[in-house]
């Protein structure tokens, strides 16, 4: 692998986490290359970010009436054509089935804006903030985990970090804190994976 992990990043929207990965690759913080960005949606900012970085950007949009299995089979052929070492879900908002996951055992990593086992699914930041407003929460957090199966935002945790909600935080301020923490944690986890990968590469 020459010390460089090949990453395919799956996205659905803004792509600020994709940008953090691209920046870390560019600056040399991360000994990795984003070999493709795949989105299930057209016209999202993440695709522009990929294009600006000179990274192939592919859209695999769902066809009306298509089963999840059929979509994931199409997604598998696109992603596998880029021969990734890891597939990073950075704001990818579809649940992956085994039709996809069984092709990438131990290679799929998801970022989620909640501490492990706390809030799953879409809108985790908004849900945490609503609970803060109700007086039932004073923190949330972010995590990066492996995706071994169809469990939503669940799987062996690679790293997590707590994010406090300060009494004067607005949703915007809290969101900003969560995203800043995500960018840091995701790059750090990928850096650790790349170090392990380099060592494996050296010993074989
Ligand atoms: C991030 O907050 C990420 O953790 C979340 O989507 C956002 C994408 O932001 N993912 C999930 O909620 C997965 N369940 P980005 O497009 O700016 O990177």
| Domain containing residue 181: CATH number | 3.40.50.170
122 CA: nearest ligand 1 atom: 12
CB of 190 within 8 A of CB of 21? yes
The pTM for the full model equals 0.95
pLDDT in tens, the chain (204 residues): 445 899 999 999 999 999 999 999 999 999 999 999 999 999 999 999 999 999 999 999 999 999 999 999 999 999 999 999 999 999 999 999 999 999 999 999 999 999 999 999 999 999 999 999 999 999 999 999 999 999 998 999 999 999 999 999 999 999 999 999 999 999 999 999 998 877 666 654
pLDDT at 1: 42
Q: Using CA atoms, how far apart are residues 16 and 180, in angstroms rounded to an integer?
A: 9
The count of C-alpha atoms lying within 13 angstroms of the C-alpha of 28, restricted to the half-sphere facing its C-beta, is: 0
**How many domains is the chain built from?**
1
Contacts of 162 (CB under 8 A, 6+ apart): 115, 139, 140, 141
Q: How far apart are the first and last CA of the chain?
A: 11
Q: For residue 116, report the distance from its CA to the centre of ligand 1, in Å.
A: 15
Which residues' Cβ are closer than 6 Å to ligand 1? 13-17, 46, 90-91, 111-113, 124, 153, 182
Question: Which residue among 23, 34, 44, 90 is best mutated to probe the pocket of ligand 1, counting the most ligand atoms within 8 A of its Cβ?
Answer: 90
Is-contact 1 197, C-beta < 8 A?
yes
Task: Look up residue 70 and give its DSSP letter.
Answer: H
Give the residue, out of 12, 111, 117, 153, with the most ligand 1 atoms within 8 A of its beta carbon, to mutate for a pocket test.
111
Domain extent at residue 54: 5-203
The number of angstroms, rounded, from the C-alpha of 7 to the middle of its chain's C-alpha atoms is 11
């Amino acid at each position: 692998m020459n010390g460089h992990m090949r990453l395919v990043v799956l996205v659905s929207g803004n792509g600020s986490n994709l940008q953090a990965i691209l920046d870390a690759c560019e600056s040399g913080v991360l000994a990795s290359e984003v070999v493709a960005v795949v989105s299930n949606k057209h016209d999202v900012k993440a695709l522009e970010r990929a294009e600006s970085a000179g990274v192939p950007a592919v859209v695999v949009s769902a066809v009306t009436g298509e089963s999840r299995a059929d979509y994931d089979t199409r997604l598998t052929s696109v992603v596998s054509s880029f021969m990734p070492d890891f597939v990073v879900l950075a704001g990818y908002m579809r649940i992956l089935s085994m039709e996809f996951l069984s092709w990438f055992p131990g290679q799929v990593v998801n970022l989620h804006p909640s501490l492990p086992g706390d809030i799953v699914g879409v809108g985790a930041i908004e849900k945490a903030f609503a609970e803060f407003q109700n007086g039932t929460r004073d923190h949330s957090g972010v995590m990066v985990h492996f995706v071994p199966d169809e469990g939503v935002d669940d799987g062996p945790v690679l790293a997590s970090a707590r994010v406090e909600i300060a009494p004067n935080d607005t949703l915007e301020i809290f969101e900003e804190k969560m995203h800043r923490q995500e960018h840091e944690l995701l790059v750090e986890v990928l850096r650790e994976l790349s170090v392990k990968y380099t060592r494996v590469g050296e010993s074989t």
